[in-house]
Every structure is written in C-alpha cells, then in structure tokens.
Amino acid sequence: MQEQIVENKKSIDWFTESRFGMFIHWGLYAAIGKSEWTMYGQKIPVKEYEKIAATFNPKRFNAKEWVSVAKEAGMKYIVITAKHHDGFAMFKSETEPFNIVDSTPFERDPLKELAEECAIQGLKLCFYYSHVIDWHHPHSIHEHCNNTWDYQLEEKSFYNYWNRLVKPQITELLTQYGPIGIIWFDTAGGLSKKDSEEIVQLVKKYQPDCLINSRVSHWPNFGDYQSKGDNEIPMYGEGTKAWETPMTLNKSWGYNEQDDNYKTTESIIRKMVTIFSKGGNLLLNVGPTSLGEIPIPSVEKLKEIGAWMNENGEAVYGTKESPFPYEFDWGAITVKGKKVYLHIQNNKWSTGSIRINGFKSKVKKVYLLSEPHLNVPFEQNSVEFVGLYNLHLNLQNEPPSEFISVVVVELEGEL
Ligand code: H79
C-alpha cells in the first residue's frame, strides 16, 4: 500500500496543483435533450434507445474549440463520459458495436480527437466510465438502478458483463488514447471488494500514473483521491488527502433543453474559492448538445470564470488547504508558501473591516493581487506570550476585480 502512495505522488501533486477541471457529460441522451437518466426514467426499451444512434450526428463537434473553452476558463484537465449508464461508448470500441464510430452516421471517435487536442494544448484528458450501471447490457447488475424493463434479474450473470465488456473497454481506453489523467468511476453500489480491487489493478497495470477516484468502490479506502457527492461542498477539507467536488453549472449533467437554472458567475466563483480554501478541486460540468456544441450560456459563464482565473490564478494553482477557519462572512483564504490570499467578496469590500487572528509570523506587506504595486494599509499586533499575530485591514476603496477581489498578505516567515 505504501508503495502505491509513493508511486502516485507525482500524479496526486499534478492533480492538487491543477485545482480546476472540466466535466463533460456527452452521449446519446443529448439527442433526447432531457439529461442522462432519461432511459431509466422513461423505461425506454433497449431496441428503441438504440435507434437514437442512427440519428446521432454531432457535425459541429470541434475538439479544438472544446479544449480552448476549458483552457481559457483556467481548467487543467477534462473528464469526459466515455460510457455513461446508458451503455453507449463515445469511442471506437472493438468490444461492443454500440459505440459512436460503429453505430452512428458520425463515424468519428471524439475521444481520439480530444486526446490529440489536449496533448497540443497541454491539458490532461480523463475518462468517466460507468462500470456498474449499464442499462444496455443484459448482465449488468446494480443494487438500485437495474434495467428491469428489458431484462429479468434471475437471468443475469454479472461476470459475463464484467469480463466481456467492462474490463476490455477499460483496457481500450487505457491503451489507445495516450496517457490518461484519471479514470473517473461512479455509482459502484453492489460491487464486491474483490471486483473493486481487480479494476484498480487493471488501471494501474496499463497506466500506473493514472489516478482513480474513490467512487470506484463503495468499500472504504479505495481510490487515489476522495470524490465528494455531486455538488457537495464539504464543511472541512481532507487534511493531506486530495479531493474533488463534481458540480453542475445549471441543474443537469447531460444536455437538458429545459434547464436554464444556471448558477450566477459570482456564486460559482464563491463556491470555487470555498472549495480551494479547503484544499479541494472543482470539476465543473458542461453538457454538449447532439450537434456537438457546448451550450452558449455555459460558454459565457466559463469565459467570465476564465477572466477571473486569469487575474487571480496565483491565488488558486498550487495553493494548500488553509490553516485558518474555513469560511468567513467576507470570503475565504488560500495559502501558498509565505503568502496568504484573502478572497474578499465584492459586496463586503468597501464596508470591509477585516480581522484575522492567528498568524505565526509577522506580516511583511499587504497588496492587491491585481495591482501588486498598490499597498493596502494594515495594522498588526502580537498576542502577548503566545507568539501569534493579528491582522486588521480597512478596505475603503472600490473592489478592484469583478466578483471577488484578492488581497495578498505576505508574511516574514512561515504561516
Ligand atoms: O453522472 C452524473 C449522474 O448521472 C451520476 N453522477 C453524476 C456525476 C449519478 N448517478 N446516480 N446519481 C447520480 C444519483 C442517482 C439518483 C437516483 Fe434517480 C435517484 C437514481 C434513481 C433515483 C433521480 C430519479 C435520478 C434518476 C431518477
């Protein structure tokens, strides 16, 4: 076990330093336009669902555009659904013809195109793979979410599914697309400990540097990092263990034509800095259409987030979990080396009298991240006998950045 931790250190360091990734939910369900659980919700028979493939032709798919949208948003990795619960492979699979190359008029392999483009633009490509739920396959078994409308439980033989579909497809994904950053598993309900271990071994056999999220198993202590619940922002971080929150921009993962419940850019950035201050990553989702386009409102949000990240990236990438109490009424704190970054919400800015207690060293200077030459006046006093310092800031100007403005507190020594 110890060896594996050492072996993964480089990848974990890459992961935590990156902080921000793009989740892409894209599959046949985009053509129905009601998100990725529709086959289950409407009990669509496999034979009916398969017919969607004949009409699925995402002509406007452009890997370069997608990767550029992610990169310009400040994202460092992309996790795309190689196969979701509907069982449809979004890649050329020799194992199973129910895939985008062999059963649609599109006939291209978008994962191959994304792999090439990610290599060019310097992002890491990662694959979501639904290893337990598969409504298309007669022999997949999930404790809650079986396809009960086509298949009878008593006829099932799980290893038929596991050995003849799951393992070969994961092998394809790890051998034909270059280095993969993460295999992102989901909904492992009912998977045995032995089978969970087997799938971990399989991934590490082909790509020892590839990370696995904790949802690979419902058993404890699986995976290289902790996947939080969908849209969950935890009260606390995980100490030294890496973690990640998958989050939607609106309320859906897969494309949903009726869902315009977008979070505001400001609220997304607030959630981001809260997550970063607790040492976590954010995997922010888009659900492209059946034509292969990321919805315009999503692109617009990501552009605004990108402008913020471009200005404030120093206070995000490579920061560590903050040793200060996590959430303040004015915002959140990230830390790196001798610098403490105060992410101050704009509505608290001009009224902002901010007090932070408990610095271990003296404050050297305080300045705006966006305008480093502008010093922010501060007062500090030491707490007698304890060796700690308190800091008091009075912010009476206009906030310098949109949404959240970052003030850098530079210390003389360690935190
Ligand atoms: O891929 C996205 C979701 O499809 C997946 N995880 C994220 C990343 C996910 N799988 N399961 N769940 C989320 C939760 C399942 C909730 C359910 Fe239901 C409650 C399944 C059945 C009852 C609500 C009603 C959702 C489908 C029917």
Any domain includes 394: yes
**Would 181 be classed as within a structural domain?**
yes
Q: Where are the alpha helices (DSSP H) in 96-192?
A: 100-103, 110-121, 158-161, 167-175
End residue of a domain, out of 261, 292, 315: 315
Report whether pLDDT(2) > 60: no
Protein residue whose Cα sits closest to atom 20 of ligand 1: 145
Position 7 confidence tier, pLDDT thresholds 50, 70, 90: low
- The closest-lying atom of ligand 1 relative to the alpha carbon of residue 85 is 4
Work out the pLDDT band at 6, boundaries 50, 70, 90.
low
The reported pLDDT for the residue numbered 272 is 98
pLDDT tens-digit map of 88-97: 999 999 999 9
322 in any annotated domain = no
Which residues form the pocket of ligand 1, taking CB atoms under 6 Å from any ligand atom? 36-37, 41, 145, 186-187, 230, 246, 253
Rounded CA-CA distance 364/360 in Å is 12
State the ipTM, two decimals: 0.94
The CATH number linked to 206 is 3.20.20.80
On whether both 311 and 367 belong to a single domain, the answer is: no
Q: Judge residue 234's burial from the number of C-beta atoms within 10 Å of its C-beta, 0-12 exposed, 13-18 middle, 19 or more buried.
A: middle
Residues 231 and 366 in one domain: no
Residues 397 and 260 in one domain: no
Q: Which tokens in the block code for residue 302? A: 């990501």
For residues 29 and 124, membership in a common domain is answered with: yes
> Are 205 and 351 in a shared domain?
no
Instruction: Round to whole Å and give the CA distance between 357 and 389.
Output: 6
Q: Let me know if residue 245 belongs to a domain.
A: yes
Structure tokens at 131: 């290893």
pLDDT, position 353: 86
**Total number of domains in the chain:** 2
- Identify the pLDDT of residue 351: 76
Which domain range does residue 89 map to? 2-315
The answer to whether 162 and 171 have CB atoms below 8 angstroms apart is no
Domain C-terminal end among 294, 315, 336? 315
pLDDT tier, 414 (very low <50, low <70, confident <90, very high otherwise): confident
Q: What rounded mean pLDDT belongs to the chain?
A: 95
Average pLDDT over residues 206-223: 97
Q: State which ligand 1 atom lies nearest to the alpha carbon of 41.
A: 27
Residue of the CA atom closest to atom 27 of ligand 1: 41
**Cα-to-centroid distance, 40 and ligand 1 (Å):** 10
